[in-house]
Amino acid sequence: MTHKIPESVLVVVYTPAGYVLLIERADAPGYWQSVTGSRNTLEESLWETARREVAEETGLCATPDTLKDWKEARVYEIYPRWRHRYAPGVIQNTEHRFGLVVPEPLSVTLCPREHVRQVWLPWQEAALQCFSWTNQEALRDLPQHMPAPVSVE
């Protein structure tokens, strides 16, 4: 068995109006989250990891114009139920934050072995639904990453 690299991405998929995509984990009913995933290799860049995970988990195609590295990371303790995926003794993961803006709430193609349902919620409500504190925090921070509205005079 190949162990997971304890470095991952969290990708907040959102609209300019502040709606956020949440997906429910197949292996943990009731656990809602944004797109997440670990690096496959140390050579894979974090941006490439984010792009790959978005494609695998939603079917969406991220581009340099739509997928932005927020240049933020959080270290968290890996939930005991998922530690067997990592090398013995590894209990922490470093999660890097990205944002993917889409024009409006889209129907996505879920990977059924990973996720079973999807929902688009206003970011405030989405933050309350996430099981992970790092995901909750990223959603609460979303407004600072969104482009400012354009005013028409």
Instruction: Provide block-wise average pLDDT over 10 residues at a time, the chain (153 residues).
Output: 94 97 95 97 97 97 96 96 95 98 96 95 97 97 82 58
Q: Is 39 annotated as a binding residue?
A: no
Q: What is the pLDDT of residue 57?
A: 97
Q: Is 104 annotated as a binding residue?
A: no
**CB within 8 Å of 106: residues ≥ 6 apart:** 21, 60
User: Is residue 52 within 8 Å of 40, Cβ to Cβ?
Assistant: yes
Q: Is 45 annotated as a binding residue?
A: no
CA dist 22 and 111 (Å) reads 14
Q: What is the pLDDT of residue 149?
A: 63
Q: What is the pLDDT of residue 45?
A: 97
Q: What is the pLDDT of residue 147?
A: 74
- 60 pairs with which residues across the strands? none
Q: Is 125 annotated as a binding residue?
A: no
pTM of structure:
0.94
Q: Quick one: which of 31, 13, 6, 33 has its CA closest to 135?
A: 33
Q: Is 51 annotated as a binding residue?
A: no
Domains of the chain by range and CATH? 7-145 (3.90.79.10)
Return phi, psi of residue 10, to 5°.
Answer: -120, 120
Q: What is the pLDDT of residue 17?
A: 94
Q: What is the pLDDT of residue 152?
A: 61
Q: Is 71 annotated as a binding residue?
A: no
